[in-house]
Amino acid sequence: MNYGDWALLQDRRGRVYLFRLQQGGTFNYHRGSIRHEAIIQAGVGRFVATPQGERFSIHRPTLEDYVLQMPREATPTYPKDAATICFLLDLAPGMRVLEAGSGSGGLTLYLARAVGPTGQVWSYESRPRHLERARRNLSEFEDWGNVTFVQGDLAQAELPPNSFDGIALDLMEPWKALNNIAPALKTDRFLVCYLPNLTQVITLLEQIKTLQLPFLHERTLEVQHREWDVRPPIAHPKFQQVGHTAFLVQLRRVGGG
């Protein structure tokens, strides 16, 4: 660990604190502070304490830690859902994936990691401020040089035909872009829509039927993680859980050209 790196401190109650290590920097806690220098000297996987005896374990933040804590303009796709989107898109290193909107860049980070340095992510965002936030969040955490951000409305974008191995949409009204993006998705590959409301899922499927768009509805699912508090003899589901985030709709591109 060095100056400029992200550090994550975890207290004994499991609360986490994410920050960048700075020369002369200090981590301030309500029961004392710790110099960044002391954190670097201790190193990851080890412990530091304030003069008042508050102990913290030291970690490099995971992608999940970062997405949950990073600055945001729009609500990022929740990590459990972002990971599942990569799985539903059947992504692998070297693939090319299209995304909208970039928002805060949460899903972008997951897609970029899934396709790796030999792959490509094209990320569309209509709002300049959101695009700038996504760009910064990506570059400040993990930039493989494989993301192209484009400012604009995906429904109006000029996309090369038959060129993407997957498409992920986290938009309020994804159906407005379907006509435009369908030819860009390779046949037999997947489009996944992230939709908080079931009414949106129904509208999406109705629009596909009405407009006779070349997509098969493979499945609609929710990702539920039920965390447990296990500290024997205590062992029960945590009283506070992440509730509903969104529905994931997996669609498969069918038909030719």
Pick out the residues of the known binding site for S-adenosyl-L-methionine: 104-107, 125, 130, 153, 170
Does the footprint of ligand SAM cover residue 246 (CB under 6 A)?
Answer: no
* Among 7, 39, 85, 104, interactor with ligand SAM by CB under 6 A: 104
- The verdict on 126 binding ligand SAM (CB under 6 A) reads yes
Stretch that binds ligand SAM, among 18-26, 99-107, 224-232, 241-249 (CB under 6 A): 99-107
Q: Please, what is the minimum distance in Å from the beta carbon of residue 28 to ligand SAM?
A: 29
Q: Please, is 5 exposed, middle or buried when counting C-beta atoms within 10 Å of its C-beta (0-12, 13-18, 19+)?
A: middle
C-alpha triplet 157, 163, 165: angle, nearest 5°: 110
Query: Which member of 177, 192, 201, 248 binds ligand SAM (CB under 6 A)?
Result: 177
Query: Is residue 248 close enough to count as binding ligand SAM by CB under 6 A?
Result: no
Annotate the chain with three-state secondary structure: CCCCCEEEEECCCCCEEEEECCCCCEEEECCEEEEHHHHHHHCCCCEEECCCCCEEEEECCCHHHHHHHCCCCCCCCCHHHHHHHHHHCCCCCCCEEEEECCCCCHHHHHHHHHHCCCCEEEEEECCHHHHHHHHHHHHHHCCCCCEEEEECCHHHCCCCCCCEEEEEECCCCCHHHHHHHHHHEEEEEEEEEEECCHHHHHHHHHHHHHCCCCEEEEEEECCCCCCEEEECCEEEECCCCCCCCCEEEEEEECCCC
Which C-beta is closer to ligand SAM: that of 74 or that of 86? 74
For residue 130, state whether it binds ligand SAM (rule: CB under 6 A): yes
Q: How far apart are CA 208 and CA 215, in angstroms?
A: 7
Residue 217 lies near ligand SAM (rule: CB under 6 A): no
Is residue 75 at the binding interface for ligand SAM, with CB under 6 A as the rule? yes
Residue 125 CB, shortest distance to ligand SAM, in Å, is: 5
Q: Is 100 in the site for ligand SAM (CB under 6 A)?
A: yes
- For residue 43, say if its preceding peptide bond is cis, omega within 30 degrees of 0: no
Quick one: 69 or 126, whose CB is closer to ligand SAM? 126
Choice from 6, 56, 76, 122 touching ligand SAM (CB under 6 A): 76
Is 65 near ligand SAM (CB under 6 A)?
A: no
Please report how close the Cβ of residue 108 comes to ligand SAM at its closest, in angstroms: 7
Q: Is 132 in the site for ligand SAM (CB under 6 A)?
A: no
Q: Considering only residues 56, 66, 124, 149, which one is a binding residue for ligand SAM as defined by CB under 6 A?
A: 124
136 binds ligand SAM (CB under 6 A): no
Binding site for ligand SAM (CB under 6 A): 74-77, 100-101, 103-107, 124-127, 130, 153-155, 170-171, 177
